[in-house]
């Protein structure tokens, strides 16, 4: 008796293939949202045939993909380090018209995406790239790339509270990994400290501090691995050097709770 494929089986990703919208995005032409719009407008052809389904599987190394009749080629890899100001969204487009990190990037750069995100009220280091494998190395917690933050809490934190941060805090999505925490100073009854994490959950630092019955008044990501903010003004960007890329792509040691 013939066996019909189920819907999950039909959607399963074949080896080495990518969805058409991702192929266009990774070529540096625009976001996946834009790519889906172009495909729906029947502006994209694969091997001489107009394709209207953005989830069509494509082999980027073999297929001839055209946008408006022009061949789509994979863009040269770009690696930028941006010092994100507070008040900017880490998103390509905002329906409310708020400022985004793309307003700070040079024109004609091609489409880049952030390797990890910083929320609206968080400033500091953000890697922008079109290299998906490099971005995955930075964001996948299995690779343990350390991210260091400067934090100003709404109250004076005791040594015991900072110790809880070091050991790990139970959150709604599970306990956090051990962190490196250093008290820097006390100012106006508030503690300023530095914390280094090897995971990057949504609003993680803020939620960890809130678990101590405090609030985060200021949050700045000051380092990713060995790469720091030094010499990079707020709102400015610079290329990531080859040596820095090698350091960032290397595996990091897990932080001890001690």
Q: What is the pLDDT of residue 13?
A: 52
Domain that holds residue 158: 76-258
What would the mean pLDDT of 136-148 be, rounded to a whole number? 92
Q: What is the pLDDT of residue 106?
A: 84
165-219 pLDDT, tens per residue?
999 999 999 999 999 999 999 999 999 999 999 998 999 999 999 999 999 999 9
Q: What is the pLDDT of residue 257?
A: 57
Q: Which residues are catalytic?
A: 119
32 and 155 both lie in a single domain? no
169 and 111 both lie in a single domain? yes
57 and 122 both lie in a single domain? no
What would the mean pLDDT of 126-150 be, rounded to a whole number? 92
34 and 95 both lie in a single domain? no
Would the pLDDT of 9 be above 50? no
130 and 160 both lie in a single domain? yes
Does 4 reside within a domain? no
CA–CA separation, 138 vs 200, rounded Å?
10
pTM above 0.85, yes or no: no
Contact of 235 with 103, CB cutoff 8 Å: no
33 and 129 both lie in a single domain? no
Residue length of the chain: 258
30 and 96 both lie in a single domain? no
133 and 232 both lie in a single domain? yes
232 vs 6 pLDDT, higher one = 232
What would the mean pLDDT of 25-48 be, rounded to a whole number? 87
Could you tell me which residues come within 8 angstroms of residue 180 by beta carbon, excluding any fewer than 6 positions away?
A: 146, 166, 195, 196, 255
Contact of 166 with 114, CB cutoff 8 Å: no
Q: What is the pLDDT of residue 52?
A: 92
* DSSP calls for 42-91: T-EEETTEE---TT-EE-TTT--EEETTEE--PPPP-EEEEEEPTT-BSS
127 and 227 both lie in a single domain? yes
CA atoms within 13 A on the CB side of 232: 24
Does 203 reside within a domain? yes
Q: What is the pLDDT of residue 131?
A: 87
Helix (H, G, I), strand (E, B) or coil at 40: helix
* Range 89-114 burial, b when 16+ CB lie within 10 A, else e: bbebeeeeeeebbbebbeeeeebbbb
Confidence of residue 256 (pLDDT cuts 50, 70, 90): low
62-106 pLDDT, tens per residue?
889 999 998 987 778 899 999 999 999 998 888 898 999 999 998
Q: What is the pLDDT of residue 255?
A: 62
221-251 pLDDT, tens per residue?
999 999 999 999 999 999 999 999 999 987 5
């Amino acid at each position: 008796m013939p066996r019909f494929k189920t819907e999950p089986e039909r959607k399963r990703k074949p080896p080495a293939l990518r969805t058409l919208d991702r192929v266009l995005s990774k070529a540096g032409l625009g976001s996946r949202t834009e790519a889906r719009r172009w495909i729906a407008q029947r502006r994209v052809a694969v091997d001489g045939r107009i394709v209207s389904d953005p989830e069509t599987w494509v082999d980027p190394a073999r297929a001839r993909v055209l946008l408006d009749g022009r061949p789509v080629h994979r863009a040269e890899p770009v690696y930028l380090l941006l010092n994100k100001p507070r008040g900017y969204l880490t998103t390509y487009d905002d329906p409310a018209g708020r400022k985004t990190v793309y307003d700070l990037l040079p024109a004609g750069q091609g489409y880049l995406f952030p390797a990890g995100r910083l929320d609206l009220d968080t400033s500091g280091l953000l890697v922008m790239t079109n290299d998906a494998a490099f971005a995955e190395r930075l964001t996948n917690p299995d690779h343990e790339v350390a991210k260091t933050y400067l934090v100003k809490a709404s109250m004076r934190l005791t040594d015991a509270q900072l110790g809880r941060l070091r050991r790990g805090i139970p959150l709604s999505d599970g306990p956090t990994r051990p962190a490196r925490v250093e008290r820097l100073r006390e100012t106006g009854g508030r503690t300023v400290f530095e914390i280094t994490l090897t995971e990057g959950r949504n609003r993680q630092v803020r939620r960890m501090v809130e678990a101590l019955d405090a609030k985060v008044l200021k949050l700045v990501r000051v380092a990713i691995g060995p790469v720091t903010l030094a010499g990079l003004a707020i709102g400015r960007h610079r290329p990531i050097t080859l040596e820095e890329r090698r350091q960032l792509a290397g595996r990091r040691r897990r932080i001890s709770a001690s």
